[in-house]
A and B are shown apart, each in its own frame.
Chain A
Amino acid sequence: MARRPDIQREGDMDLSFLDEVRAVPGGEKIVDCIQCGTCSGSCPTSYLMEDSPRNLFYKIRAGLRDEVLKSPDIWLCTSCYMCYVRCPKNIKVTDIMYALKRISSKERFSLQWRGYHLAKSFMSVVNRDGRNNETELLLRFFLKTNPFGLIRNSLIGLRLWLRGRMPLSRHRIRERKKFRAIIAKAESLSAM
């Protein structure tokens, strides 16, 4: 019988992506997924997703790597952990969503999503000062992704500032040098 090119056979599936996800702490249980959909049904943002967690998990197991990593859905996870506590197979769904965010940003699939840029800006501020500075974080993020958002939210920012909730000075840790050395070492270890 001639093979239909549009139908993928189980034996031909690329399982390397599944292995990649399984290698993440907390990701090993993804193979237990029974596709019940409890995660998607519990998700506060799945109403706007194209795939939702259940389908993403299905695609991971089917080896549809690029499709999963390009999906905007992975950046809609708010880390509310509702899926995580409800999963009947005790799969750490939220942790797997984190893993997808990481792989997707590492391979530059995520550059188009705002969630990625917020996380990235957050990381830069923390790496430099040891602490987050909400005012700077928001300035950086909006300037990069959505300058209009800065104008739109300026009144809220002003109201917060008037109530002493948006300080303009930044808080830094004392041992910044050592802190950066620790980070540099962690980065080199994770590259291994």
Chain B
Amino acid sequence: MSETYWREYLYYPGCSLHSTSKSYDESSRAVCQALGAKLVELEDWNCCGATAYMGIKELTAFTVSARNLALAEKTGKEIIAPCSGCYVGLNKTNNYLKEFPDVGKKVNAALSEGGLQYNGTVKVRHLLDVFTKDIGYEKVKQFVVKPLEGLKVGCYYGCQIVRPRNEIDDPECPETMEALLKACGAAPVDFAMKAFCCGGSLMGTEETIGLRLVKNLLHSAFRSGIKILVTPCPLCQLNVDAYQKRAGKKYGMEFNIPILYFTQLIGLALGIEPKKLGIGREIISAHEALKPYL
């Protein structure tokens, strides 16, 4: 394991990675360290605003989000969000402040109350993008010690990592995560619903819709012969993991498809101890599917 790092990033874990998606935090840190990318947590970061804030107040939502950008700007580094919701929240704010200068001016007037200012120079990126573009498939391949040979893994992207249109991947038919897992020796399997909605926060507000969407995507994964799913999104993981049995029951189906974060599987291939990657925190146990590789 390298002690010298080839690049330093500002790490913005976001609220979920401190609670429901702890394993994403654990595995991201462990894997980045193993690959020589240093993650430095942004000092005193606040919530990105997620999708909820924007539905009540607009300028305040942009301001809350921009506080993080202002803090990041002082360090001069790129900000990396592992959570798709945070990525969209921060990235959208970043783009809108440029596209609509009036909004930018007001946001800065508000930020100055806290002694902050944002000039629009920060680059917001998703952790997956760092893996595919900066670290690269070849480097990941070199570090693999336990190839995930024959593992039929489905890559579930969800929505907000690929949409609205961005530079990470195609908005409807993304393929970068598959390539990454192939580099780890796995055998990724395509499935139709890989970039469709899991229901998001509707699982709390309108459960019938949430369960239907989760059922749709699990059914699609099941029919494609997928044994395990990976995702880059905390809310997707939570909905598919915690509500899997309920969704199956409602539609008379029995699903048993564990869902992990893509970083957890990469970590496994790099030979990192499963416990350090948070494997075991999932509700639908991945033990059976991962038995040959543990």
Which residues of A come within 8 Å of B, CB atoms? 24-26, 44-45, 48, 75-76, 78-82, 84-85, 92, 94, 98-99, 101-102, 105, 113-116, 118-120, 122-123, 126, 130-135, 138, 141-142, 145, 149, 156, 159-160, 163-167, 171, 173-175, 178-179, 181-187, 189-190
Contacts and interface: CB of A to CB of B under 8 A. Distances in A.
Interface of B: 15-16, 18-22, 44-47, 49-60, 63-64, 67, 88, 96, 99-100, 103, 106-107, 109-116, 159-160, 163-165, 171-172, 196-197, 199-202, 204-209, 213, 242-243, 280-283
Contacts of B283: 156, 159-160, 163
A140 B58 CA distance: 23
A165 B243 CA distance: 15
Contacts of B204: 114, 118, 138, 141-142, 149
Interface centre among B50, B88, B99 (most CB of A within 10 A): B50
A156 B243 contact: yes
B55 A119 contact: yes
Given A24-B58, A134-B20, A175-B44, A80 B200 contact: yes
B20 A190 contact: no
B54 A98 contact: yes
Of the listed residues A24, A113, A119, A184, the one surrounded by the most CB atoms of chain B closer than 10 A to its CB is A119
- Count chain B CB atoms within 10 A of each CB in A78, A115, A181 and give the residue with the most: A78
Nearest to B205: A114
A184 to B, nearest CB: 7
B213 A173 contact: no
A78 B201 contact: yes
Nearest to B246: A156
Contacts of A166: 19-20
A84 B18 contact: no
5 contacts: A45-B197, A94-B164, A105-B55, A156-B243, A183-B60
A165 B164 contact: no
A45 B55 CA distance: 17
Contact of A163 (B103, B172, B201, B280): B280
B164 A179 contact: no
Contacts of B99: 25
Contacts of A102: 54-58
B63 A183 contact: yes
Contact of B205 (A44, A118, A163, A190): A118
A181 B113 contact: yes
Contacts of A132: 15-16, 47, 50
Interface centre among B44, B55, B58, B111 (most CB of A within 10 A): B55
Contacts of B115: 178
A167 B18 contact: yes
Nearest to B102: A25
A13 to B, nearest CB: 26
Contact of A189 (B88, B109, B206, B213): B109
A131 B44 contact: no
B159 A79 contact: yes
Contact of A126 (B49, B107, B282): B49
Nearest to A117: B205
Nearest to B171: A85
A80 B20 contact: no
Contact of A190 (B60, B64, B165, B201): B60
Given A25-B96, A186-B107, A123 B242 contact: no
